[in-house]
Amino acid sequence: MTVRVAILGAGRIGQVHAAAIASVADAALVAVADPAAAAAQAVRDRFGAEVRSIDAIAASDDVEAVIVCTPTDTHADLIERFVSAGKAVFCEKPVDLSLARVKTCLAHVEAADGVLMVGFQRRFDPDFIALKQAIDAGRIGTVEMLTLTSRDPGAPPVEYIKRSGGFFRDMTIHDFDIARWLLGEEVSSVQAAASVLTDPAIAAAGDYDSANVILTTASGRHCTITNTRRASYGYDQRIEVHGSRGSVAARNTLTARIEIADADGYHRPPLLDFFMSRYTAAYAAEIAAFVHCVRTGAPLPTTGHDGMMALALAEAALISVAEGRRVALAEML
């Protein structure tokens, strides 16, 4: 059985997901919608999908699943609409920047017995999966401490930052999700520190560019997260998990596996410097997983609940910075 998919939004990430659908054996891209006609036509020309309106897709009998790649402020409405229309929905994170809106949206999905997968592509990165498998296989004993290092190669435009929901909701949210994935129990409290070190314009926009966070679980496990918008050497994405019997670390991806030695020493190339090249395989695996779940009814690997929990952690972090205190996650939920 082939899953027939439509893509809502034909921008950068929409094109990534269209290519992913094209590479999955049991899926077919049948339609694409975008208010920008050129963007929609580009997807049509490259992947063979028909250009339709969102309304038409909602009414299409030949579409079983949609991938929502529209601007964030449309996500919750589209999720509700397409779940109501009986379509399985994959939505890029976040469901919404407001935790309250996320809650009403998820309640709608649940009432409709809908299928909603929220995109956290890092969980599908081959190296991070190998790390998770090592933990699950008992290689490091019981998980005790996580160290997540996520550094962007450079800040996005300030205009993007203004609409992004802020540093914790836009950037750290991926680390919050990875923390929940790997800690083995829910986070109970959040301590955070944040500042602006790279560009005063970011402060002027009311946001941060540098942050560190400590998450603690009920049994006392910890996760530290180190984030900055600026790493001169590329897109720095590392996970280290310390357990009772050992540790496991996932390393970075360099642009080439060569090393030069000269009178100044040993030199390797910088990191991949773009999230789409860094996570190419992850994006494809994520969509393949969604298609698999739609086709077989298997449990979704990442859900609306995961999206909500990561957002709640982001809000807790914001309060911790503002009030200088440890914030219980329970306060958010």
Interacting residues with its own copies (CB under 8 A): 126-127, 130-131, 134, 139-141, 144-145, 147, 149, 151, 189, 191, 193, 195-198, 210-212, 214, 216, 219-222, 224, 226, 228, 230-233, 242, 244-270, 324-326
How far is 151 from 237, CA to CA, in rounded Å? 7
Q: How far is the CB of 101 from its own copies (least distance, A)?
A: 29
Residue 145, Ramachandran bin (φ over 0: left; ψ between -120 and 50: alpha; else beta): beta
Q: How far is the CB of 231 from its own copies (least distance, A)?
A: 7
84 vs 149, which CB is nearer to its own copies?
149
DSSP state of 206: T
Tokens 């910890």 sit on residue: 222
- What DSSP string describes 64-122? -EEEE-S-GGGHHHHHHHHHHTT-EEEEESPS-S-HHHHHHHHHHHHHTT--EEEE-GG
> What does residue 150 show for φ and ψ, rounded to 5 degrees?
-130, 115
60 vs 237, which CB is nearer to its own copies?
237
8 vs 225, which CB is nearer to its own copies?
225
26 vs 259, which CB is nearer to its own copies?
259
227 vs 302, which CB is nearer to its own copies?
227
Q: Which helix (H) or strand (E) holds 13?
A: helix 12-23
Task: Find residue 191's DSSP bridge partners.
Answer: 214
Q: How far is the CB of 151 from its own copies (least distance, A)?
A: 7
Q: How far is the CB of 13 from its own copies (least distance, A)?
A: 21
Tell me how long the chain is: 333
112 vs 193, which CB is nearer to its own copies?
193
Residues 6 or more apart whose CB falls under 8 angstroms from that of 329 comprise 186, 187, 188, 189, 190, 312, 313, 316
Q: How far is the CB of 84 from its own copies (least distance, A)?
A: 37
Q: How far is the CB of 87 from its own copies (least distance, A)?
A: 29
Task: Find residue 91's DSSP bridge partners.
Answer: 68, 118
Q: How far is the CB of 27 from its own copies (least distance, A)?
A: 15
In terms of Cβ atoms closer than 10 Å to its own Cβ (0-12, 13-18, 19+), residue 221 is buried
86 vs 270, which CB is nearer to its own copies?
270
250 vs 308, which CB is nearer to its own copies?
250
Q: How far is the CB of 319 from its own copies (least distance, A)?
A: 12
In terms of Cβ atoms closer than 10 Å to its own Cβ (0-12, 13-18, 19+), residue 212 is middle
